[in-house]
Structure 1
Amino acid sequence: MSKMTGVVLPGNRQLEFRDFPVPEPGHGQVLVRMKASSLCGSDLRAIYRPTDQGHGPEAYQGVIAGHEPCGIIERVGPDVTRFKAGDRVVLYHIAGCGQCHNCRNGWMISCTEEVGVEGGRAAYGWQRNGGHADFLLAEERTLVALPDELSYLDGAMVACGLGTAYAACLRASVSGRDTVLITGLGPVGIGTALLCRAMGARVVGAEAIPERIEFFQKLGFTEVVDSRDVKALDTLRSLTQGNGFEVAIDCSGNATARHTCLELAREWGRVVYVGEGGSVSFEPSPLLLHKQLTLHGSWVCSVPQMEDLLEHLVRWNLHPEIMVTHRFTLDQAREAYELFDSGKCGKVAIVWEDNQA
């Protein structure tokens, strides 16, 4: 095979199929045959929906979409030492320079090298070709081994969404002593709930979309409040006997939800903002200072944290594949994005017919 079809997102809710050459791995690179490539809400917000996808090197570069890929190594280039053909791998979704302080500590998401320069920071599916094609050219340093106990879809969930949720849980030091409020039950919110439950915490959700509330309940979570209800705040407060939540994590990016997390956090509680976009306005003295809260901003996990998460998923017998409500083949990518854009679903993934756990 010398050519492959890839999905490109030109904006304005459009999707195109284009032909690309199958790449050949160079020094320190591997060619990964895709088995699962899931969709991410950040792609909707910054690439799929906008008519203006930004300017400069940080903007979407018209490459193959998909930054939540998982697959099996087809072949390796020179100087690849940790992996070989046939290995099952998850990809960390940012390829950093590998040399700056942040990259050396595993935080390639925060690579300080200029985006767009050779060897600089580049996100799969944004500044370099991603996983919505049969093959993906990857840097070895972005690969993490997929344990045999986990499926390719499990791995795709980890690549960004669940890793983002895990980083938020670590920031909040979630434990079995906590009651955790999660606002926004999209894929990241659902993933956060699953992880908090695995860590022993009591989980309470708040969401405005009925389909998401229903899916949350299908996963075994019994405490959830419709945030459209005028009494939602009082209902949530009553679930803690008026004491508030030890941890509140916003996964929505919604201003009201962010404010709710501050309002309902217990004194000396921990609040984490992980949902992208939006804004928030609040009075620091009564909501933050006087309650002595700790407010964290959390982006995504590091490479070591991703490795740690995969190990814990096996230990907890937790399969994030359960977050996937709809699966599509590559040629159905347009339908996949339209459904995901509606918000009336859980996680959506593109899978290949030969996808075997």
Structure 2
Amino acid sequence: MKAVVFEKYKTAPSLRDVPKPTPGPGEVLLKVAGAGACHSDVAVFRDFDEQFGPPQLKPSFVLGHENSGWVEALGEGVSGFTVGDAYLVYGPAGCGHCRACSRGQDTYCENAATMPYLAMGLGRDGGMAEYVVVPARNLVPLGDADPVAAAPLSDAALTPYHAIKKSLPALGGGGKFALVIGLGGLGQIAVQILTALTGATVIATDAKQDAMDRARANGAITVPGGPDQAEAIRAATGGKGVDAVFDLVGVDATIALAMSVVAIRGRATIVGIGNGTFAWNFYTAPYEAELANTYWGTVEELYEVVDLYRAGKITPEVEIFALDDALEAYRKLEAGELSGRAVVAPHGRWPRTDARMRPGAAGTPSHCRVGSQDSDRLAGHS
């Protein structure tokens, strides 16, 4: 089968033929419906080397940690799944028996240092391929919702969802404000999640006007970047500051912005892994303001994300690519040429005429579009 393989540090991945995997005990083989291309993938093959980066991410392995697919075959001891049903994949893969894993939070596995991989597509072969093998416990049912458009939910929605749930106490009650910094794939869904879960006024900021336009369409007040950015954000709150800030970038400048606008007793959460730093000072930080970071989320929360998706509360904007064009998807991601999440659909099931496969609750998804790469070939695959 074809797969996108990370083979060498500081080098773009390659598309090559690899053996089709076979599910082992407790595992399920999925026919991949969609695999999202994420900036974390770019960090793996561009930023890491033998001295820098998690040791579990040494080459080589198949990329793709945002995955969905149809059940193709069951491994020994697996039951309760029907071949052909659609599932979303919870990417993190911990030891499965520590306290963190027992509550579905494999991201914080207590034995992570001894694990050979971190997640599907992060050390373990992922879904940027025709087929992928995953533990049965990592599958979340999609029902009749379209699985191709759903693929990014397993990271681009789960990650901000977890951060927002942790911050809900700061957003309870009337007159609350939330700020989303960075309106890429995660930031756009964060705006939708905040609107669905809270009554807070959502403020969104980015350097790109088209990104702010999309956030505004989902109910956010937008503030452009620039020297007056912090002042404008504070003005939008009536001067009191933001109750909960979500930094989806995580570089020095965005962390500093978050802490400059957070309210007294507010909470600033750094979600983006931009390797930024912040110098805390008692006299400049608002009293009792929290500065926290989060990483991914739990499998239970992914069930909740899917519920929001199926109810039509969150609709990820995706650009679909054939597997033969997966390397072009990564190129466009690195070049900043994507307006939505790049999703590779190895079997080209888009658009699908089967009425059982629907985007979210119903209808044809205006937020999904086939990329410019061979749209006819995508629609023609079986």
Q: TM (normalized to structure 1)?
A: 0.89
SS of the residue corresponding to residue 14 of structure 1 reads coil
Letter of the aligned partner of 1:273 in structure 2? I
**How far apart are the structure 2 equivalents of 1:115 and 1:125?**
17
Q: Is the 8 A contact 1:90 1:143 kept in 2?
A: yes
Cα deviation, 1:26-71, whole Å, max 9, x if unaligned, reads 1111100011111112112x22323736467322432111000001
Q: Is the 8 A contact 1:154 1:319 kept in 2?
A: no
- Structure 1 residue aligned with 2:376: none
- Structure 1 residue aligned with 2:111: 113
Uncovered stretches (5+) of structure 1, i.e. residues with no partner? none
Letter of the aligned partner of 1:88 in structure 2? A
Letter of the aligned partner of 1:294 in structure 2? E
- Structure 2 residue aligned with 1:339: 332
Match of 1:243 among 236, 240, 244: 240
Q: Is the 8 A contact 1:271 1:293 kept in 2?
A: yes
Tell me how far 1:268 sits from its aligned partner. Answer: 1.4
Change (3 A) 1:111 1:304: same
Q: Is the 8 A contact 2:94 2:109 kept in 1?
A: yes
Q: Is the 8 A contact 2:191 2:218 kept in 1?
A: no
Aligned pairs for 1:311-330 (under 5 A) are 311-315=307-311, 317-321=312-316, 323-324=317-318, 326-330=319-323
Tell me how far 1:181 sits from its aligned partner. Answer: 0.8
- Structure 1 residue aligned with 2:143: 147
**How far apart are the structure 2 equivalents of 1:6 and 1:42?**
18
Aligned pairs for 1:7-86 (under 5 A) are 7-9=4-6, 10-12=8-10, 14-44=12-42, 46-50=43-47, 52=49, 54=52, 57-86=55-84
Tell me how far 1:318 sits from its aligned partner. Answer: 2.1
**How far apart are the structure 2 equivalents of 1:284 and 1:55?**
29
Change (3 A) 1:312 1:215: closer
- Structure 2 residue aligned with 1:264: 261
Post-superposition, which runs of at least 4 consecutive aligned residues in structure 1 deviate over 6 A? Answer: none
- Structure 1 residue aligned with 2:367: none
Are 2:292 and 1:293 aligned? Answer: no
- Structure 2 residue aligned with 1:164: 159
Are 2:200 and 1:201 aligned? Answer: yes
Percent sequence identity over aligned pairs: 26
User: Structure 1 stretch 107-116 or stretch 301-310: which is displaced more?
Assistant: 107-116
Tell me how far 1:305 sits from its aligned partner. Answer: 1.1
Uncovered stretches (5+) of structure 2, i.e. residues with no partner? 358-382
Tell me how far 1:243 sits from its aligned partner. Answer: 1.3
Cα deviation, 1:316-338, whole Å, max 9, x if unaligned, reads x22433x22x2211000111011
- Structure 2 residue aligned with 1:306: 302
Match of 1:223 among 213, 221, 224: 221
Letter of the aligned partner of 1:14 in structure 2? A
**How far apart are the structure 2 equivalents of 1:339 and 1:279?**
24
Letter of the aligned partner of 1:37 in structure 2? A
Tell me how far 1:13 sits from its aligned partner. Answer: 5.3
Work out the number of aligned pairs and report it.
Answer: 344
- Structure 1 residue aligned with 2:363: none
Letter of the aligned partner of 1:269 in structure 2? G
Aligned-residue RMSD, C-alpha: 2.1
Tell me how far 1:156 sits from its aligned partner. Answer: 0.9
Tell me how far 1:115 sits from its aligned partner. Answer: 5.1
**How far apart are the structure 2 equivalents of 1:42 and 1:116?**
21
Letter of the aligned partner of 2:235 in structure 1? S
Are 2:234 and 1:252 aligned? Answer: no
Cα deviation, 1:211-261, whole Å, max 9, x if unaligned, reads 4334434x434522221x211121111111111111111111121111111
Match of 1:131 among 127, 132, 139: 127
- Structure 2 residue aligned with 1:101: 99
**How far apart are the structure 2 equivalents of 1:240 and 1:319?**
25
Change (3 A) 1:269 1:319: closer
SS of the residue corresponding to residue 95 of structure 1 reads coil
**How far apart are the structure 2 equivalents of 1:208 and 1:201?**
23
Cα deviation, 1:176-214, whole Å, max 9, x if unaligned, reads 732111111111111111100112332111112344334
Tell me how far 1:19 sits from its aligned partner. Answer: 1.1
Q: TM (normalized to structure 2)?
A: 0.84
SS of the residue corresponding to residue 21 of structure 1 reads coil
Letter of the aligned partner of 2:162 in structure 1? A
**How far apart are the structure 1 equivalents of 2:96 and 2:109?**
8
Change (3 A) 1:215 1:335: farther
Tell me how far 1:262 sits from its aligned partner. Answer: 1.4
